[in-house]
Structure formats: structure tokens, C-alpha cells
Structure 1
Amino acid sequence: MTPEVPAQRSADSGEDPATRTDPNRQVRGDERRELTEHVTAAYEKGQSIRDIASTIGRSYGFVHRLLAEAGVDFRTRGGARKGSRK
């Protein structure tokens, strides 16, 4: 028996339950390509990997792997630094 991902949508989250996937199922072929395009577009719009992973119901590592396979240039970690670096 495979667990189903709950199709819940909170009014303020803006998350579409149709974008969530079963975290235990392998994603292959056209479905993987479409998911990669969705994840890449979200990341390039400025969304974090953790936010994307939460939205689609997958792990950080899975989303990171999709982005790496797509050849995305990753942003640096953290925010802007205060002051100048020495």
C-alpha cells in the first residue's frame, strides 16, 4: 500500500495540491522532465530549495538533484553581509 499525499490547501499558502507528489514514488520520463521544469522555474524566480521541496512534498536532496541535473547555477548561501570583507 502506498501512502497518499493529503490534498490540502490552506488559503494563505498559495500552494496547489496538484503539484505535490508521492514522496516514495520514483519520478521518471516526461513526468520527471515536467517536474524539473517546474522546480527550475520556481528556483529561478527566487524561491528557496526548501520552499520548493515543501511545496511539492519532496525532500531537499531530491529538489537539489533535479536542479543539478538541469544545470542550474546555484545561488550562494545566506543573505547580504554587513560591512566590507577584509
Structure 2
Amino acid sequence: MRGLLRQQRAPPSGTRPSSATRRSAGDERRAFGEDLVRRYTADEYIRALAAATGRSYGFIHQMLVEAGVQLRRRGGSRRRNAAQSSEG
């Protein structure tokens, strides 16, 4: 029957899941979150953090939100200097 969900296979015994599929917990998650906060507040993009860590955009976003980070708006800085804003 089409449309049925495929069953997920367990990894072979004795192997560890990759960092992208492994769950983070406790001190490891806290330390990872602190590193993400430090890098994000130093103007690194969420997508760049996701690519560098092998995690998804959604995971990085959620970690930052859980840490209480004020997320930047999309599209980067759109500020104009005073001379440009008065012209038009």
C-alpha cells in the first residue's frame, strides 16, 4: 500500500549515531548551546552554524530560542545613512 511510513531501522549494534542524528542531553547540550550562542552573537548566521555543526537549521534555531537569544531579523542589516533617507 502506497503512502505508508517506512519503519526506521536501528543502527547496527556497537555503532554510534552520527552527530547529526544523535540526541543531545545534559551537560553536552548545555555546552553546545553556549557555543552556538557565542557564535550567533558574534554575527554568524544560523545556516552557517547548521552547516558547520552538521545539524539542521531548525535544531540550531530551537537551541538559540531555548537559550533566550534575541534572534536577528531576516535579510541582514537594512540601515541607510541619514543622507540617503532624507533624499527619498
2:79 and 2:35 map into 1 onto residues whose CA distance is 30
Percent identity at matched positions?
44
**What CA deviation, in whole Å up to 9, does each residue of 1:5-31 have, x standing for no partner?**
5xxxxxxxxxxxxxxxx1111000000
Instruction: Work out which structure has the larger RCO, using CA pairs closer than 8 Å and 6 or more positions apart in sequence.
Output: 1
Specify which of 69, 73, 78 is matched with residue 72 of structure 1.
69
Q: 1:4 Cα deviation (Å)?
A: 6.2
Structure 1 outlier segments of 4+, above 6 Å = none
Residue of structure 2 in register with 1:54 after alignment:
51
> How well do the aligned residues superpose, as a CA RMSD in angstroms?
2.2
5+ unaligned residues in a row in structure 2: which ranges?
1-10
**What CA deviation, in whole Å up to 9, does each residue of 1:14-67 have, x standing for no partner?**
xxxxxxxx1111000000000000000000000000000111100000000000
Report how many residues are paired. Answer: 69
Between Structure 1 and Structure 2, whose CA radius of gyration is higher?
Answer: 2
TM-score by length of 1: 0.70
1:38 lines up with 2:62 in the alignment: no
TM-score by length of 2: 0.69
5+ unaligned residues in a row in structure 1: which ranges?
6-21
